[in-house]
Amino acid sequence: MSPLTTLSAEQPSCQVEYDAHNQWLRATWRGFINPQHALQSIVSSLGVLSNPVVTLFLNDNSQVLNPWFDSLTWLRYAWDSTHTTPPACVAHVMQPGGDANVSDLDTNWTRNSGTELQLFESVEEAEDWLRGCHSGCDC
């Protein structure tokens, strides 16, 4: 994995891509993400999200600069917008210092849809867990 790039607040982005090697979808959030940018990211990612059923999802907030940003809310709206089945396993990498706000995460949609959600402090831990989902975890 390449080292994290230092980004300024002027460079917000959300890159959504399918990782064919690992067979999961990955959203990587960078910079200062405001609600308007998150909504624009949903619209620009609908094509990727509505492709074949995705059973594993890596949601990486490790490069978010906001004091707090809940991209799980973005995921809920994204899957609702595509009318596709939510992934069986979601690995959510918290933004640095975000662990103090775990109770603020919007996790109702994962429970209601039968999605297994795990929170991680590092991308590597999240990737390891998702690889375990391929090997038959309860996801």
In a domain, 6, yes or no: no
Is the Cβ–Cβ distance between 71 and 40 less than 8 Å? Answer: no
The verdict on residue 1 lying in a domain is: no
The whole model's pTM is what? 0.79
pLDDT at 60: 93
% of residues, the chain, pLDDT over 90: 14
Residue 115 included in any domain? yes
Question: How many domains would you assign to the chain?
Answer: 1
Residue 47 counted as domain residue:
yes
Range of the domain at 35: 13-134
**Mean pLDDT taken over the chain:** 77
Query: Does residue 4 sit within a domain?
Result: no
Instruction: Establish if 60 belongs to a structural domain.
Output: yes
CATH number for the domain harbouring residue 124: 3.30.750.24
Nearest to 123 by CA among 52, 29, 35: 29
Q: Which long-range contacts (CB under 8 A, 24 or more apart) does 9-15 make?
A: 9/65, 12/37, 14/38, 14/41, 14/45, 14/71, 14/74
